[in-house]
Structure 1
């Protein structure tokens, strides 16, 4: 019986994390305007963009290589960054919050519609990060 319980516990530990949800907002403008607005909203807070991931380009470039002719996005970029102050705060509360860093805001164009968004984070300290991301997105939408 003890082995069965332990096997169950370790089996649960091996399960993948549940998919994260995303918060998206429509952007009234072009993809280029949206990326400029998001980049500006991040930089205006004194944050440094560590990486701009051009996910849309990669998906469009590699579709045929993986046997797909589906065009997911016209364009899609993710801006990745951290906040030293906020990251320290959430990781002092729980060092495993490192799993959520860096933080990202994405811009995507799909079927002629441009959207801006970010992933959602778990309840607790990470809600501070989610609030920052939402502030950035709201600034970009103005």
Structure 2
């Protein structure tokens, strides 16, 4: 049993490392312009934004509470949304693709450089989602 747990733990850690991979693109403009462009690109695809996580604000607000004075981002937001059609398709292919839903696109300002990006997904059906995310980001950075 202990050996099985070790194998499962290694598998989880390997997946967690993969989940850290992201595709990013520089945005030629302000953080506010980038968030506006991402929001419009998502809505332009007929998708509904379920939630916007103001991660940068949270990190800046709580830094002193956790004993840090490091500013990671001047600003950072994550737009969370789903596509009913695409989600059904990828989850019919593998019901465990639920782990990737909702999908997210982030905008971050770090040291005056604004970037837009998304988490990379595994090979297989989830590449359709990654292609959608890339379409949205490409539209937003144009």
What TM-score does the superposition give when structure 1 sets the normalisation length? Answer: 0.93
Match of 2:7 in 1: 12
Deviation at 1:128, TM superposition (A): 0.3
3-state SS, counterpart of residue 49 of structure 2: strand
Match of 1:103 in 2: 103
Instruction: Give the paired residue count.
Output: 137
Deviation at 1:12, TM superposition (A): 1.5
Match of 2:113 in 1: 113
Asked if 1:31 corresponds to 2:26, the answer is no
Return 17-26 or 83-92, whichever deviates more: 17-26
What TM-score does the superposition give when structure 2 sets the normalisation length? Answer: 0.93
Deviations 1:15-61 (A, max 9, x none): 43332201000000000000000000000011000000000000000
Deviation at 1:7, TM superposition (A): 2.9
Asked if 1:89 corresponds to 2:89, the answer is yes
Match of 1:140 in 2: 140
> Which consecutive residues of structure 1, in runs of 5 or more, have no partner in the other structure?
1-5
In 2: Cα distance, 1:96 partner to 1:25 partner: 29
For residues 36-55 of structure 1, what are the structure 2 equivalents within 5 Å? Answer: 36-55=36-55
Deviation at 1:109, TM superposition (A): 0.1
Deviation at 1:89, TM superposition (A): 0.2
Higher helix share: 2
Aligned alpha-carbon RMSD (Å): 0.9
Asked if 1:131 corresponds to 2:112, the answer is no
Deviations 1:107-137 (A, max 9, x none): 0000000000000000000000000000000
Deviation at 1:13, TM superposition (A): 1.2
